[in-house]
A and B are shown apart, each in its own frame.
Chain A
């Protein structure tokens, strides 16, 4: 048990639970699927078939490890890079592609840029673009669960850049004061667009910031699925038992660009990237599985062929979905259409009737 305000630099060594052996192969397959998604989507964006994409490559172990430590009733407050968390929660690949395309099957009805997922059926709260805003919201949901005595946690996912945001400070401060069941899961991928981690804060680690709020801060190797799983599992157990919140910093590296609109060559070196890729969480888990006799190269080749084919196939299915109903642009502003919105929609309808616009 980590005492409030202390910083544990090596939680796996202190005996936190390891990732369950029987789930490791499944976790590896999920990580491969996420990586195949990234590769495909970066290409699709270049081909102009999706408008934008924010890859997570390099963060697969952190996302899958954290997700597998949660219960179905827990609430996830993601940022926009949490594709593997959504997949781990059981969201279908088709639903992901529908969102990337903004078609008629997209559950958020084409309202947001790609990667801003929201899936109520798996308690995956819809993401937004402003940085850190989900942190205070996750705290509020945890305070609500605390009041209802529901044995769940809320977990906010965010990056190193978000630790400079107002809501990071406000959220951790509230969580400390109210001792609510929250986990703050920071994926420190070393770069906030072009700003390196060292220039985001003068603190030696991000995890140590938790100490100022009187809550435990834990630093883990985000490429080690066991370390991530163990830290989240322990934080979850403590939170559900009434022991309050925890902040976890998972050290990872963003292999890809911030998004398809970004060129990381402007601000970081190939050498740095190559060095980081030697710690690729996928290669690491593959090696572990092979060493444990649970996996082999042939199974691996088959897996990658399968996930790539599945990704390609599912994208084609999503591409065939109907386009959105243009009139839906006026829906969901409020529960009911206000007179003003009804008037604006009628104006739109009139243009369609006059043949100015295609329906």
Chain B
């Protein structure tokens, strides 16, 4: 075990995966000589050289298109999109190509590409360095969507992503890249996809969160505990595949659900969770499902703290849910 922050965990995991498997290579903007704008790939260019840590021209469709070709050929590319906000030039390559290669070829051409991308607010990044648009990708069949919330999960989930046979969008909560540290295994332990993590057990209300919202939900649970409300915090870890059983089981126990994400509410991932609860846990619910999310506005710059969900908003929503029944 080593004490690391989240970005250090990613850096070390990429390094270990590249040492382990000569087919793993990285490509993206400013990831080589510069080590990445968040330093996620620091030192890797020096260790593995320009053939395996590839600084590309500034074109996201070029990065993902090339990564697909590499994957078809048998390499294991890990592409970096500098900010999730800049992924859209590659949207066609991701949703029309990458996600559909296995299916459209009748299984002949699986395309295993891992796309790493920092996402989310809280760094004063404004409209174009803050968004949390995972729902666009979750809506597309054929691509897995993963969001770690701790340094240990960042390692375990990234190792699983690199092992996986399917395309993976690996979203990194940049707001907590450095703000929290944790014990990270040094070995090859994987965190499997489709298994949520119960961060904290509780009996009165379930708080569902992922990525940078997990620490906020955990803070809220502590506040609630002082008020005598026992909140269970569930970190979804992977949105696709989703651990539906864990979501349903938690609500069967608590009877109340608060869904938290940074993304805008309308058609956000929380809508899928709410639908799941309506379909499979309705009779366990004692109160309406509540969503604590970003507003249905573009991501604001100066007023980002107004926009972003926080522990206070989450605790308030949970209290209301408990009071409602």
| Contact status of A140 and B142, CB under 8 A, knowing A166-B61, A332-B102 | no
| Contact status of A332 and B107, CB under 8 A, knowing A140-B65, A144-B75, A171-B65 | yes
Q: Is B106's CB within 8 Å of the partner chain A?
A: yes
Q: Which chain B residues border A75 with CB–CB below 8 Å?
A: 73
Instruction: Assess the A133–B62 pair: CB atoms within 8 A.
Output: no
Instruction: Assess the A335–B166 pair: CB atoms within 8 A.
Output: yes
- Chain A nearest CB from B110 CB (Å) reads 7
Q: By CB atoms of chain A within 10 A, which of B69, B70, B105 has the most?
A: B69
Instruction: Assess the B65–A133 pair: CB atoms within 8 A.
Output: yes
| Contact status of A177 and B106, CB under 8 A, knowing A133-B96, A136-B93, A137-B72 | no
Instruction: Assess the B72–A334 pair: CB atoms within 8 A.
Output: no
Provide the bound-state CA to CA distance between A201 and B233, in Å: 57
Interface string of B69-91 (1 = CB under 8 A from A): 11111110100000000000100
Q: Is A340's CB within 8 Å of the partner chain B?
A: yes
Ordered by A's residue number, 6 sampled pairs between the chains whose C-beta atoms are within 8 Å are A109-B106, A136-B66, A143-B70, A147-B52, A166-B61, A339-B245
Nearest to B55 among chain A residues (CB) is A177
Q: Is A154's CB within 8 Å of the partner chain B?
A: yes
**Interface positions of B (Cβ within 8 A of A):** 25, 51-52, 54, 56-57, 59, 61-62, 64-75, 77, 89, 92-93, 96-97, 100-110, 141-142, 144, 164-166, 194, 240-242, 244-245
Provide the bound-state CA to CA distance between A13 and B106, in Å: 44
Task: Give the interface SS of chain A, mostly helix, strand, loop or mixed.
Answer: helix
Q: By CB atoms of chain B within 10 A, which of A106, A130, A332 has the most?
A: A332
Provide the bound-state CA to CA distance between A331 and B69, in Å: 23
* B97 contact from A133, A148, A169, Cβ within 8 A: A133
Q: Is A128's CB within 8 Å of the partner chain B?
A: yes
Provide the bound-state CA to CA distance between A333 and B110, in Å: 10
| Contact status of A130 and B97, CB under 8 A, knowing A136-B69, A137-B68, A170-B65 | yes
- Chain B nearest CB from A341 CB (Å) reads 9
Instruction: Assess the B69–A167 pair: CB atoms within 8 A.
Output: no
Interface segment, A25-33, A37-45, A111-119? A111-119
Provide the bound-state CA to CA distance between A2 and B164, in Å: 43
Q: Is A174's CB within 8 Å of the partner chain B?
A: yes
Interface string of A162-192 (1 = CB under 8 A from B): 0000110111011001100000000000000
Instruction: Assess the A340–B61 pair: CB atoms within 8 A.
Output: no
| Contact status of A137 and B109, CB under 8 A, knowing A130-B96, A170-B59 | no
Seed contacts A126-B104, A173-B62, A174-B59; 5 additional CB < 8 Å A-B pairs: A111-B104, A128-B96, A136-B62, A332-B107, A339-B245
Q: Is A138's CB within 8 Å of the partner chain B?
A: yes
Instruction: Assess the A136–B194 pair: CB atoms within 8 A.
Output: no
Nearest to B244 among chain A residues (CB) is A339
Q: Is A120's CB within 8 Å of the partner chain B?
A: yes
